[in-house]
Structure 1
Amino acid sequence: MTTTPILQFGTSRFLQAHVDLFVSEALARGEALGTITLVQSSGDPARRSRLEALAAPGGFPVRIEGLEDGRASAREVRVNSVVRALATETDWPEVARIAAEEAEIIVSNTGDSGWAARPEDDALDFRQGMSYPAKLRQLLLARFRAGGRCIVVMPTELVARNGDRLRSRVLELAGDGEFAEWIGSHVVFANSLVDRIVSQPLEPAGAVAEPYALWAIEEKEGLILPCRHPAVEIVADLGRIERLKLHILNLGHSYMVANWLRRHGLDDALVRDEMADPATRADLEDLYAREVLPVFAAAGQGDEARHYVETTLDRFANPFLAHRLSDIAQNHAEKVQRRIAAFLDWSEQLGVGAMQRHLRDVVTQTEMAAT
């Protein structure tokens, strides 16, 4: 079996059309660190059925559909970067061996609930019910005991300062002593941000995605990359990009979901159909102009925010993608807190929060629905 320097936690369609695709394309140019062992950590039987197809010798398809330079574009790419697909529930000893002996980078995207603390996290040995940070602690301990070579941990979960947050939680679980000291000196936790709309899965494996893609990684001493790729950017300040994505693209999605839920969320609405309605598009454009862009202008990001809004509106209107509001609505209350309530806090700090009636209404209604 080929040695795999990239160990990936997560089997989502997003990862298939993002990390896995980038590494596959880079491998063809000789610009990737190597191939991927993919790990399914949730224990979800429905997701386990994907594993064999994800690691099939012929790879899996990703369809890229959308507008590129104003023209309709559709193509299919075969992704062949995944050579192993394992599950923590059944293959933990092999996962731990790869983490200890082969991996140079551990990448993750474990969903909104993957980091939530669980009772099993304090167990001395592996438990399937552990959160992702607790499972990672177990893997790093295996590496420490096997000689402790340096390693990069690169979360892609949509959590602000995700590398710093993950490092803090792993150190909390590690306690005091030589192991914690080794984590502090030999494990590089990279902050990164990912951006691509991946609207639907293909069966048994694969996905449909838009042309736009970004993987922004904050520069850090000791950082190594999984691959070189046009969509991978090394940046000095990830915060500027985080704010654009979270408080323009993600905020816009949650605003549309809030309006859809107000209509009782019974229709199988697509983002592209919402954008095709002149009144809905005008309302969203007005929201950006009156309640969002003045905040970015006050923060010194006015020009780049205006450009990002224009790009976002085009991405939302992509006529190819079946991006369902019901999918975006998952964990809606938590998303509203991160995307809209946090934005309102930021705007208050900048002194420009007085005129944001629509966004404040979304937060209030979401909080009332949750009680």
Structure 2
Amino acid sequence: MQRPSYDRDAQRRGIVHLGLGAFHRAHQAAYTDQAMAAGDRDWAITGVSLRSPHVHDALAPQDGLYTLTERDQSAQRMRVIGAIRDVLVAPHDPGAVVAAIAARDTHVVTLTVTEKGYCRRPDGTVDPAVVNGRARTIYHYLCDAFAARRAAGLPGLTLVSCDNLTANGPVLHRAISEFLDATMPELRAWFEAECACPSTMVDRIVPAVTASDLDRVPSRLEMRDEAAVITEPFHQWVIEDRFAGPRPRWEAGGAQFVADVSSYETAKLRLLNGAHSALAYLGLARGLSFVHEAVADPAIRPLVERLMRIEAAPTIDATAGQDLPAYIDALLHRFANPALAHRLDQIATDGSQKIGPRWLEPLAIACARGMASPATLQALAAWLVFVRGNSHTVADPLADRLSGLWNEHGANGIVDAVFGDAGLLPATSGLDGPSRRELTRMVHERTST
């Protein structure tokens, strides 16, 4: 088993990460660990849990150490990751979070806060409740730290969004700018001149760790690891090469630095993430629990393959050397990995925040080109029926509103209530009249069986 080969105590904290979940520990922290193992210095991570103390309580007694296990059908590989040195719980000590971001040694802030962590309205603007409310968000921590850095004469930061958002760098830049304009307008010019928000594409399947997973780790480690992470061997990180200051040599772990991330990002959102969401809602409707079960189902696999190969792939402007058919083949192989128990209900969370870039954007392009998208519409119908929530809890920030629309409009009107011109998710969805009528038919079909 591989262990950190560098002196952890000698590394200064160069990165603050917001959103210290399993994905970060399997992805950005692992890349940083490899960079320091290759001789890079002073990029230790201060991790911030924005809500729950659970990750802190698991990592702190272990001095930030944890195991990363890569599993496929034939083997597994385990290594100990040493990149995380401090773990903060933001609600317990918000001042410590601001101080960490404002520290002289900090040069990079990375974020995995999920789509809903950006607190955006359907039109992309920051929810006014963030500005006017008492609850602290990523914007409060970042902007308070900006003020402290400017007052201390320190340079700006590179803010690296690693969330599944189209143009995640510009999204973060716009949101921070709006927040500053509303709360600290005197800082806007400093932010524009001193900070950078490069776009990124991240790709690694990281299921939620179960109690049985944790029980199996001691057999190899000879101790219990409460912060263990289990993932697949595949990993990818494509980063726009635009930084405000120094950066880690993440390329030591295989990261790619490019001038334009957009085609990689679009392919991942519409193919991997779009297929994942389709597998989740279609699979749950058939009583399945895991991705590998759903992709093996003879009623689901053809739909998901069509969604990727025929409906989504033609909407992507691939760059030279980007082989979309090969990428789709690899995705289907990864989805079928039974050693990676990726739960469909985990993927199904927060669907209202995800379906835009995953399904609605390619649908709009397809509609404009006169292309049919029956598989994508079937996935949308499964999502609409899922969020009705008759026999299960719906984990979604719009769950109550979606349930209310179902109660008010029923199967006849739910499509227009959600996707119509005055709907909850407006007509920018790309769903024209014929598509909405076909989607309504599919919803009826699913609710009448």
TM-score over 0.5 for the pair: yes
How far apart in 1 are the matches of 2:14 and 2:30?
A: 16
How far apart in 2 are the matches of 1:301 and 1:285?
A: 23
Cα deviation digits, residues 274-329 of structure 1 (max 9, x gap) = 23344533443244333233434x77889721111011111101121000101101
Matched residue, 1:100: 102
Query: Is 1:199 matched with 2:207?
Result: yes
Query: Is 1:308 matched with 2:352?
Result: no
Matched residue, 1:285: 305
Structure 1 stretch displaced more, 175-184 or 247-256? 175-184
* 1:259 alignment partner, one of 282, 289, 299: 282
* Structure 1 residue 51, shift from structure 2 partner: 4.1
* Structure 1 residue 20, shift from structure 2 partner: 0.9
Matched residue, 2:169: 163
Matched residue, 1:187: 195
* 1:62 alignment partner, one of 26, 50, 68: 68
Query: Is 1:366 matched with 2:356?
Result: no
How far apart in 1 are the matches of 2:199 and 2:354?
A: 20
Give the 3 Å change call, closer, same or farther, for CA 277–346 of structure 1 in structure 2.
same
Query: Is 1:19 matched with 2:38?
Result: no
Cα deviation digits, residues 78-109 of structure 1 (max 9, x gap) = 00011111122223223222222221101111
* Structure 1 residue 112, shift from structure 2 partner: 2.6
- Per chain length, whose mean CA-contact separation is higher, i.e. which structure has more relative contact order (CA < 8 Å, sep 6+)? 1
* Structure 1 residue 140, shift from structure 2 partner: 1.5
In structure 2, the gaps of 5 or more residues are: 1-8, 120-126, 215-224, 389-401, 406-449
Cα deviation digits, residues 19-62 of structure 1 (max 9, x gap) = 111111221111355211111112x2434423414634xx1101
How far apart in 1 are the matches of 2:204 and 2:89?
A: 25
Structure 1 stretch displaced more, 269-278 or 106-115? 269-278
Higher strand share: 1
Matched residue, 2:80: 78
Q: Percent identity?
A: 24
Structure 1 stretch displaced more, 238-247 or 112-121? 112-121
Q: How many pairs were matched up?
A: 354
How far apart in 2 are the matches of 1:243 and 1:29?
A: 31
With normalisation by structure 2, the TM-score equals: 0.72
The answer (yes or no) to whether the contact 1:122–1:173 under 8 Å persists in 2 is no
How far apart in 2 are the matches of 1:222 and 1:313?
A: 38
Matched residue, 1:342: 361
Matched residue, 1:109: 112
In structure 1, the gaps of 5 or more residues are: none
Matched residue, 1:41: 50
How far apart in 2 are the matches of 1:29 and 1:258?
A: 42
The answer (yes or no) to whether the contact 1:337–1:363 under 8 Å persists in 2 is no
Cα deviation digits, residues 154-209 of structure 1 (max 9, x gap) = 11111111121111121222227542111110111111121100113255102101
Q: Which amino acid aligns with 2:290?
A: L
- Over the aligned positions, Cα root-mean-square deviation in angstroms equals 2.5
Structure 1 stretch displaced more, 248-257 or 170-179? 170-179
* 1:242 alignment partner, one of 229, 241, 265: 265
Give the 3 Å change call, closer, same or farther, for CA 55–109 of structure 1 in structure 2.
farther
Q: Which amino acid aligns with 2:129?
A: P
How far apart in 2 are the matches of 1:302 and 1:31?
A: 30
Give the 3 Å change call, closer, same or farther, for CA 235–348 of structure 1 in structure 2.
farther
Matched residue, 1:131: 137
* Structure 1 residue 144, shift from structure 2 partner: 1.5
How far apart in 1 are the matches of 2:319 and 2:248?
A: 32
Structure 1 residue ranges (4+ consecutive) displaced by more than 6 angstroms after TM superposition: 298-303
The answer (yes or no) to whether the contact 1:54–1:85 under 8 Å persists in 2 is no
Secondary structure at the counterpart of residue 76 of structure 1: strand
How far apart in 2 are the matches of 1:357 and 1:306?
A: 20
* 2:131 alignment partner, one of 114, 118, 121: 121
